[in-house]
Amino acid sequence: MKIKSALLTAVLSIMAAGTANAGKHWVATWATAEQVVEPHNCPPAPYLENNSIRQIVQVSISGKTVRVKFSNEFSKEAVEINAAELAIAATAGSSSEIKPGTEVSLTFGGSKSVTIQPGELVTSDPVKFPVGMRENVAITMHMGKASSTSVTGHPGSRTDSYIAVGQTSDFSNAVSTAHWYIINAIEVQAEKKARAVVVLGNSITDGRGSTTNQQNRWTDNLSRRLLENRKTQRVSVLNMGLGGNCILAGGLGPTARSRYPRDLFQQEGVKYIILFEGVNDLGGRGDAVQKANQIIEVYKQIISEAHERGIYVYGAPVMQFKGNGYYSENHEEGRQLLNAWIREEGNCDGVIDFDAVMGDESDPARLNKKYLFENDYLHPNADGYVRMGDCIDLTLFERKGNPEK
């Protein structure tokens, strides 16, 4: 009888847990695009192997139960994580400190350790870890085997990470580096109305020109606005920008054409996509008009696949770059061709027109001087990213149902 009673109690507990989670789903609250890290961006001494690394990220929407994804997709060697913890970070990256009493351990299939083979992505077990909107989270990994030359990561973190010697929680003497390694996403268990917008982009989305450890990319500014708006306060923003990235060929990292199935469609809870790439293609060698037409074909494919999944796709015209080495009459012609297609009604489900608000009044093909980063006439500064985040129509992210195919 005692065995039957215990079994009944276990069954009722499982049923209660299922009822509590009914109507909920996983939504990514933070994620990053990854690549094989270039040699000059690899982990500095003392390196990762047999050491500990603490990395800071700022999430978007809140949640009480989370899980974390770790990637070894682009590495040639296996990576060993001996143990990993989450904690609320004390800052947005300017220190390695965490808030006392917030640390929780992660497990992987019930084990504290996990080995990630080359080409693999692993997800931790769900864990109770209350996290608020735009809260800073520290992900600490105690590493075993880990290459210092073949590493999966995100070079343009705009956020400091901290490497300490040994299997330790003491980062007081840690070495800092402005890159993320191996971490891929944080997901929260959220109600059905929660959803995500994911951005496919290059260095302008990645945040070149923003301020290290201040989380002020245009996507961060958009996220804050969404959270302050009652109708969109359960919409997360996922930044899939890669510095130097191209859509078609060349550039840094996997091309957008090759990475979009993973970076867009493998994120949990995505309802909206923003396409904001192309400047590195158009500004490179070759006929920009021909490239613009090729980019359009890639965009058509992404839109078609998104619509099959019930996802809205918003196009963002390529911003002006006159004054930069990318500029020529042919390159500008290609930009105008691509932008005209994006703006044409019916091609995208909506338009986010940064180009229309970032230009110089006397010369719209040139970035406004007050928004220039290092006078390169390509990347906005922190004020420019505020302008970009502020110009976006939030009603685009109130839409439910499915887009017309």
- Note the pLDDT of residue 5: 43
Alpha-carbon distance of 336 to 34, in angstroms, equals 30
- Note the pLDDT of residue 2: 41
pLDDT single digits (tens) 364-379: 999 999 999 999 999 9
Residue 236, Cβ neighbours under 10 Å: how many? 32
Average pLDDT over residues 339-353: 98
pLDDT single digits (tens) 274-295: 999 999 999 999 999 999 999 9
pLDDT single digits (tens) 254-271: 999 999 999 999 999 999
- Note the pLDDT of residue 224: 98
- Note the pLDDT of residue 404: 82
Alpha-carbon distance of 68 to 131, in angstroms, equals 13
pLDDT single digits (tens) 197-213: 999 999 999 999 999 99
pLDDT higher than threshold 80 for residue 1: no
Tell me the whole-structure pTM to 2 decimals.
0.94
pLDDT higher than threshold 50 for residue 27: yes
pLDDT single digits (tens) 215-227: 999 999 999 999 9
Alpha-carbon distance of 139 to 258, in angstroms, equals 28
Pick 7 or 361 by higher pLDDT: 361
Pairing of strands 312-315, 270-276: parallel
291's tokens: 């490239």
Q: Report the share of the chain in percent with pLDDT over 90.
A: 94
